[in-house]
């Protein structure tokens, strides 16, 4: 039988441990009024982070961003995630929100983008998409067409060029475009379909511009101001900033283009 002292000693150790942990965790997870929450396509990460930094430097608002595959994020918004603004790569996730009757205060076609291939520096030498079917290419990565529009556009292109069926056995699907690019960076795929903007920031990868621009739909990045967010006033202000000249200049510097006929 153990003594009371022993009991106290052991209980004390565990309580001390948990107490120390509790002490370090106080004060996190606040969701005060000075925060706005953006859900944005992963492909926007670097460009949007820079635009937000510029905005936060002048404003007291804190901008939180949850990056992910656009359709994943749209699904979360539809089930009640309190996002103030949603920036999607592609129109489909926004259409999905409209079908689900998610409240929107404003919507603009913010940006456009293009598809390219990336390989490792000494990777296979590709002259066109037909080369993907040759033996020099093992695994071909793209974002899952159902989860991220980058994959949808890549699939559309391959289907239109009559290569989709033949390439099926070589395909590896990533959760979104960055995950897809990481497959090539880590040597787990030989080539990946990514946006030009992602390719631009990938050090150490070869960018091959062989995806015909007319083989897939025009890529749009709609930005939506949602009515279900916690902080509509601050969100509206940021939304206007995002569609303004300064933010667009930052985004274009990261390789995005402005959609013709869009704002």
Partner 1 sequence: MEILPVIGLTLQIALVATIIDVPFAVGLSWLIIKKRVPGSFVLDIFMSLPLAVPPVVVGYLLLMLLGRNGPLGGIIQNVFGADVTFTWVAAAIAAAIVSFPLMARTIMVSMRGVDPVLERSARSLGAGPWRVLFTITVPLAYRGILAGILLGFVRAMSEFGATIVVAGNIPGRTQTLPLAIFSRVQLGDDDMALRLVAVSVGLAALTLALHNWLLERSQGNTEAR
Provide, rounded to whole angstroms, the least separation between the CB of residue 118 and partner 1. 12
Minimum separation from the CB atom of position 24 to partner 1 (A): 6
Nearest distance in Å: CB 13, partner 1: 7
Residues numbered 105 to 164 that lie near partner 1 (CB under 8 A) are none
Structure tokens at 224: 């939506």
Distance CA 213, CA 82 (A): 36
Per CB under 8 A, 176 contacts partner 1: yes
Nearer to partner 1, 195 or 216 (CB): 195
Burial class (CB in 10 A: 0-12, 13-18, 19+), 47: buried
Q: State the minimum distance, in angstroms, from the CB of residue 233 to partner 1.
A: 18
Kindly state the tokens that stand for 110: 């913010």
CB of 135 to partner 1, least distance (A): 28
Using the contact rule CB under 8 A, the part of the chain among 126-134, 163-171, 174-182, 248-256 near partner 1 is 174-182
Check if the beta carbon of residue 197 is closer than 8 Å to that of residue 116. no
| Residues contacting partner 1: total by CB under 8 A | 40
Q: Are strands 62-68 and 35-41 parallel, antiparallel or unpaired?
A: parallel
Nearer to partner 1, 2 or 57 (CB): 2
Site for partner 1 in 63-102 (CB under 8 A): 64-68, 76, 79-82
Q: Decide if residue 59 touches partner 1 (CB under 8 A).
A: no
Q: Restricting to residues 183-242, which ones interact with partner 1 according to CB under 8 A?
A: 185, 202
Query: With respect to partner 1, which residue has the nearer C-beta, 91 or 178?
Result: 178
Residue 45 binds partner 1, judged by CB under 8 A: yes
C-alpha dist (Å) from residue 40 to 25, 33, 37, 93, 102: 28, 20, 10, 11, 16
List Cα–Cα distances, 101 to 95, 109, 146, 170, in angstroms: 10, 19, 20, 38
* Upper half-sphere CA count for residue 162 (Cβ side, 13 Å): 0
Compute the least distance from the CB of residue 48 to partner 1, in Å: 12
SS (H, E, C) 186-230: CCCCCEEEEEHHHHHHCCCEEEECCCCHHHCCCEEEEEEEECCCC
Query: Which residues contact partner 1 by CB under 8 A?
Result: 1-2, 7, 10-11, 13-14, 17-18, 21-22, 24-29, 31, 35, 37, 42, 45, 64-68, 76, 79-82, 175-176, 178-179, 181-182, 185, 202
């Amino acid at each position: 039988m153990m003594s009371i002292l022993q009991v106290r000693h052991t209980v004390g150790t565990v309580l001390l441990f948990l107490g120390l942990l509790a002490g370090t965790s106080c004060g996190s997870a606040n969701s005060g009024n000075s925060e706005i929450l953006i859900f944005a396509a992963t492909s926007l990460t670097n460009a949007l982070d820079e635009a937000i930094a510029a905005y936060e430097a002048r404003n007291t608002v804190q901008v939180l961003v949850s990056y992910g595959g656009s359709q994943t994020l749209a699904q979360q918004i539809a089930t009640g995630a309190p996002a103030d603004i949603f920036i999607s790569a592609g129109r489909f996730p926004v259409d999905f929100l409209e079908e689900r009757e998610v409240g929107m205060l404003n919507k603009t076609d913010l940006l456009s983008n293009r598809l390219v291939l990336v390989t490792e520096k000494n990777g296979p030498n590709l002259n066109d998409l037909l080369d993907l079917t040759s033996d020099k290419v093992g695994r071909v990565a793209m974002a899952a067409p159902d989860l991220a529009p980058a994959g949808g556009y890549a699939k559309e292109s391959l289907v239109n060029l009559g290569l989709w069926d033949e390439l099926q056995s070589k395909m590896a699907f990533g959760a979104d475009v960055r995950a897809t690019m990481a497959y090539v960076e880590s040597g787990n795929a030989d080539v990946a379909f990514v946006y030009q903007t992602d390719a631009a920031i990938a050090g150490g990868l070869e960018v091959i511009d062989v995806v015909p621009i007319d083989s897939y739909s025009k890529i749009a990045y709609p930005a939506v101001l949602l009515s279900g967010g916690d902080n509509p006033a601050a969100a509206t202000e940021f939304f206007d900033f995002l569609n303004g000249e300064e933010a667009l200049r930052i985004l274009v510097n990261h390789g995005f283009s402005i959609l013709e006929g869009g704002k």
